[in-house]
Amino acid sequence: MAETCPILIASDLSEASEVAITRATQLAAHRSCSLTALHVIQEEPLWWVAKTRDLDSDDLRAELLREALAGLKSQVQEAAGRLGIEPPASDVQARLGKPAAVATEMATSIAARLVVVGAHGRHAVRDWFIGTTAEKMVRASNVPVLVARVEPTHAYQKVAVAIDFSESSRAALRAALDWAPQAQFTLVHAYETWFESYIEAATYERLRQEQEEALHDHLREFAREVGVRGDHEPDYRVIAGHPGTAVVDAAIKARADLTVCGTQGDTGLRHLLLGSVAQHILRESKGDVLTVRAGDEGV
């Protein structure tokens, strides 16, 4: 039912956020989820504009909030029109404050199961994402965050999931199965070798093959434990190399339109670090990216 899987869209009213709203609308329609579209106006520049132009700050605030609400309503309606569907149940909210903090609080208050944000520019995640509102939301959110950068023309069809056998990658795979249940999956585990330079080539090759066979078995067992069944058999990839690079490359080869990865768990550094693998995926992936922390996957 609609109330069981609320989706929050964080929109800056740009063209990039239209991609996010369209994807969120598509997901909401498929899952019968409700939508909340949020725009946050940062107060610091607002007061500067009011002061330099001798405007009444209350009037300026009220006018900007009205414009934001109108813009959000238009974006939601246009997204449904692009998809050729009736607009799902939705609410629009405009707030003043720091965007990441307000969006995170809103996600908690509506019990959101997913937060969707847009990215900007040709190299969106690389040029704009890191160090900005979206990254702060990924770091702080207790809800999976979907960074949408490709205009959706269909439901997700091919999904790459980074697997390192941690609880966060377990949560990532569950979330991928929840939000893209009909997709073709590629599960990617990357490992880095340390002994290649210390032993002769034939021995190294034998050990490598043995290790990869064991990892393939582990990957299949891990997938079964999470809930992958025979009628949904993924493509299993075990790759030697840097995990972030391996996942991005595997997603490109698989023509994945969504890459899913776990982020670091609830540690003292959770607000400072995403983890090098997740950060690399966010920066370099060509398609949408869904980030999930252990315990955040929702249903």
pLDDT of residue 60: 79
107, 125, 150: which is the final residue of a domain? 150
pLDDT of residue 46: 55
Q: Does position 259 have pLDDT exceeding 90, yes or no?
A: yes
Q: What is the pLDDT of residues 161-204, one digit of tens each?
A: 999 999 999 999 999 999 999 999 999 999 877 665 667 778 77
C-alpha to C-alpha distance for 279 and 264, rounded to whole angstroms? 10
Whether residues 28 and 108 share a domain: the answer is: yes
Whether residues 182 and 113 share a domain: the answer is: no
Q: Which residue has the tokens 């997901």?
A: 27
pLDDT of residue 206: 83
Number of domains in the chain: 2
- Tell me how crowded residue 79 is: count the other CB atoms within 10 A of its CB: 27
C-alpha to C-alpha distance for 41 and 62, rounded to whole angstroms? 11
Q: pTM of the full predicted structure?
A: 0.86
Whether residues 141 and 176 share a domain: the answer is: no
Higher pLDDT among residues 55 and 224, named by residue:
224
Q: Does position 293 have pLDDT exceeding 60, yes or no?
A: yes
Give the confidence band of 267 by pLDDT, cuts at 50, 70, 90: very low
Whether residues 224 and 102 share a domain: the answer is: no
C-alpha to C-alpha distance for 264 and 271, rounded to whole angstroms? 10
Report how many helices (DSSP H) and strands (DSSP E) the chain contains, helices first. Answer: 10, 10
Provide the β-strand partners of residue 39.
94
Q: What is the pLDDT of residues 14-39, one digit of tens each?
A: 887 899 999 999 999 888 899 999 99
Whether residues 86 and 15 share a domain: the answer is: yes
Domain that holds residue 173: 154-299
150, 185, 201: which is the final residue of a domain? 150
Q: Does position 252 have pLDDT exceeding 60, yes or no?
A: yes
CB-based contacts of 36: which residues, under 8 Å, 6+ apart? 6, 7, 8, 9, 90, 91, 92, 93, 106, 110, 112
89, 117, 150: which is the final residue of a domain? 150
Whether residues 115 and 205 share a domain: the answer is: no
pLDDT of residue 155: 92
Euclidean distance between the first and the last CA atom of the chain, given in angstroms as a whole number: 11
> What is the average pLDDT across 192-218?
80
CB-based contacts of 169: which residues, under 8 Å, 6+ apart? 161, 162, 163, 261, 262
Supply the CATH number for residue 56's domain: 3.40.50.620
